[in-house]
Amino acid sequence: MGRKSLKEVRQLEIIKTFYKVAKKEGYENTSIAKIAKVMDINPSLVSHYFETKEDLTYALIDHILERYLLIYTIKNKEAVTLTDLQKTIEMLFSKKWNLLFDDGLFYTFYALAFREKKIKAKYKTILDSLRFALASMIERCNEKQLLNVPAPKVAADLIFVLVDGAYFYLSLESDKKAYVERLDYYKNKAYQILGIDQSIGSGGILSS
C-alpha cells in the first residue's frame, strides 16, 4: 500500500477531532466551528474537506467500520486456526472492543439511522461486514474439521446478537464486578454456539 495523501491525512485528523469533540460535548452540540477551534485552524479549511456536519458524520461512521474490522487481523484468511477464532471471540467480549467507539455516539448515530437512510445503510454495512468476517472464520474452521458448526452464518449472527445486546445492557451497569461476570457469561454463551467447551474468566460462568 502506498503512503496516504496529504488530503487523506488531513481528513483523518478532522474526523478524529470531530469524534473527540462530539464525545465530550455531545453530537448535537458539535459544529464545524468548534472542530476548527480545537484544531486551531480556519473553519473554511474543515469545510473544504467536509462541506456539512452530515458529511463529517458519514465519514466518521466509515471510520468506525475500519476500526471495528481491525479485530480480523489474520493475514492469510485461508490459514485460520481455532486459536484465531478463539482470540476473536475473546476480543469481541472484552473491554478493549467495547472501548473502540464511545457508547453515547454509537447509539446517537444508531438513533439517526431511523431517520437518515444513508446512515442506516452505513450501519447495516458495519454489522453485515462484522458478521460476514466471523462466519468466514467459522467456515474455515469447519473445513479443517476443527469445528462442526452446522450453519456458520447463523452462528455468527447469534454471536453478534449477543455482543450487541450485551454491551447495551452493560452500558447501564455501574458495578464493575457484575460487569465482568455478565461479560464472561455472554462470552461463554458464544462459545456454546460454536460448540467449544470452555470456561473463561476468573468470575466463572453464571448459572442459567
CB 91 within 8 A of CB 71: yes
Written as nine digits, the cell of 84 is: 484465531
| CA separation for the pair 208, 39 (Å, rounded) | 50
Characterize 87-102 residue by residue with b for buried, 16 or more Cβ atoms within 10 angstroms of its Cβ, and e for exposed: ebbbebbeeebbeebe
| CA separation for the pair 49, 107 (Å, rounded) | 26
Kindly state whether residues 120 and 160 are assigned to the same domain: yes
Task: Return all residues near 12 (Cβ < 8 A) that are at least 6 apart.
Answer: 4, 63
Kindly state whether residues 36 and 102 are assigned to the same domain: no
Within-domain flag for 45: yes
Per-residue H/E/C for 67-125? HHHHHCCCCCHHHCCHHHHHHHHHHHCCHHHHCCCCHHHHHHHHHHCCCCHHHHHHHHH
Q: Is the pTM for the entire model greater than 0.85?
A: no
Kindly state whether residues 72 and 169 are assigned to the same domain: yes
- Residues spanned by the domain of 75: 65-194
Kindly state whether residues 88 and 177 are assigned to the same domain: yes
Kindly state whether residues 80 and 173 are assigned to the same domain: yes
Within-domain flag for 189: yes
CB 49 within 8 A of CB 32: no
What is the reported pLDDT for 103? 81
Placement of cell 455501574 in the chain: 174
Residues 57-80 have pLDDT tens digits of 999 888 887 777 777 665 556 678
CA-to-CA dists, residue 175 to 29, 96, 106, 170, 185, angstroms: 30, 18, 22, 10, 15
Residue ranges of alpha helices (H) inside the chain are 6-25, 32-39, 43-49, 53-68, 82-92, 95-98, 103-112, 117-143, 152-170, 176-194
Within-domain flag for 207: no
Kindly state whether residues 23 and 73 are assigned to the same domain: no
Residues 111-127 have pLDDT tens digits of 888 999 988 998 888 88
Kindly state whether residues 126 and 171 are assigned to the same domain: yes
Total of domains in the chain? 2
Max CA pair span of the chain = 59
| CA separation for the pair 171, 179 (Å, rounded) | 9
Q: What is the pLDDT along the chain (208 residues), one digit of tens a residue?
A: 456 788 889 999 999 999 999 999 999 999 999 999 999 999 999 999 999 999 999 998 888 877 777 776 655 566 788 988 998 999 899 877 777 778 888 888 888 889 999 889 988 888 898 899 899 999 999 999 999 999 999 999 999 999 989 888 888 888 989 989 999 999 999 999 999 976 544 343 333 3
Provide the CATH number for the domain around residue 124: 1.10.357
Average pLDDT, the chain: 86
